[in-house]
């Protein structure tokens, strides 16, 4: 088992206070190596919160999050940094590329923590950028490129350290229809060819339908569709 969440509860605001808002309630989820999982749900249902907990960007109030049988909520700060950097890739609705850096510099940002592997990561960046069709733009700034090209660069950035799992938060939400299809094909190829475990949240029923499993997040818990 790659990932196992059991009885995850998460809320915001002081418990018992009128401002407290419960988001996740006794939520459980399992993901095997190489699975494709989509999570549907309306805005505010807790989809991003769930991804943040899986990726170690946030902690549940209670419950267990195990990655390859290790409880990540018990990780030290250094262990959590290594987990996020080496095991998890993040892709968001907006690419969040650094505007002052070239495309190649942007995709190499996650590799900066490992100076010893710099040449290997540069070679990997070249290979991935060629694979997704943006190598010719490697020395351009994000502001000179289309949203679809920048989003492909964001996927390469997420893949630069060869993670085991890609967490994608509305990865096609800011793209036009043509680029939605390009992004969907890219994610599916990474899953199929590289064996990458893919977990994405989306409003797109069409994109979700191309995943192996589909869940709906409602009333704080996941329901298989």
User: Where exactly are the structural domains of the chain?
Assistant: 32-59+77-224
Say what the pLDDT of residue 119 is. 87
How many C-beta atoms surround the C-beta of residue 177 within 10 A?
Answer: 8
Distances in Å between the alpha carbon of 116 and those of 18, 74, 122, 169?
51, 28, 12, 31
- Burial profile 28-67: b = 16 or more Cβ within 10 angstroms, e = fewer: ebebeebbbbbbbbeeebbbbbbbbbbbbeeebeebebbb
Assign a CATH topology to domain 32-59+77-224. Answer: Rossmann fold (3.40.50)
3-state helix, strand, coil in the chain (%, to 5): 40, 25, 35
Strand order in the sheet with 21-31: 21-31, 3-12, 62-67, 70-71
* Average pLDDT of span 101-123: 88
20 compared with 89, residue with greater pLDDT: 89
Question: With 90 as the cut, is the pLDDT of residue 178 above it?
Answer: no
Please, what is the angle between helix 177-194 and helix 147-159, to 10°?
A: 20
Question: With 80 as the cut, is the pLDDT of residue 28 above it?
Answer: yes
Question: With 70 as the cut, is the pLDDT of residue 11 above it?
Answer: yes
What phi, psi does 86 have (nearest 5°)?
A: -105, -25
Tens of pLDDT, residue by residue over 48-58, are 999 999 999 99
Name the 3-class secondary structure at 22.
strand
Question: With 90 as the cut, is the pLDDT of residue 205 above it?
Answer: no
Question: With 80 as the cut, is the pLDDT of residue 153 above it?
Answer: yes
Say what the pLDDT of residue 13 is. 85
Please, what is the angle between helix 147-159 and helix 118-132, to 10°?
A: 140
Could you tell me which residues come within 8 angstroms of residue 110 by beta carbon, excluding any fewer than 6 positions away? 85, 157, 158, 160, 161
DSSP 160-225: TT--SEEEEESTTTTS-HHHHHHHHHHHHHHHHHH--EEEEE-S-HHHHTTSSEEEEEETTEEEE-
Average of per-residue pLDDT values in the chain: 92
Name the 3-class secondary structure at 50.
helix
């Amino acid at each position: 088992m790659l990932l196992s969440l059991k009885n995850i509860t998460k809320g915001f605001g002081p418990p018992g206070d009128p401002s407290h808002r419960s988001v996740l309630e006794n939520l459980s989820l399992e993901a095997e190596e190489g699975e494709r999982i989509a999570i549907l749900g309306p805005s505010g249902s807790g989809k991003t919160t769930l991804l943040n907990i899986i990726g170690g960007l946030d902690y549940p109030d209670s419950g267990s999050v195990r990655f390859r049988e290790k409880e990540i909520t018990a990780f030290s700060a250094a262990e959590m940094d290594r987990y996020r950097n080496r095991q998890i890739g993040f892709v968001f609705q907006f690419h969040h590329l650094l505007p002052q850096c070239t495309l190649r510099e942007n995709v190499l940002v996650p590799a900066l923590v490992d100076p010893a592997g710099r040449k290997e990561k540069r070679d990997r960046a070249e290979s991935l950028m060629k694979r997704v069709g943006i190598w010719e733009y490697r020395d351009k700034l994000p502001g000179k490129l289309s949203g679809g090209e920048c989003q492909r660069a964001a996927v390469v950035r997420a893949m630069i350290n060869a993670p085991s799992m890609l967490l994608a938060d509305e990865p096609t939400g800011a793209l036009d229809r043509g680029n939605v299809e390009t992004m969907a094909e890219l994610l599916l190829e990474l899953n199929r060819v590289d064996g990458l475990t893919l977990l994405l949240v989306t409003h797109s029923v069409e994109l979700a339908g191309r995943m192996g499993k589909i869940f709906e997040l409602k009333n704080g818990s996941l329901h298989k569709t």
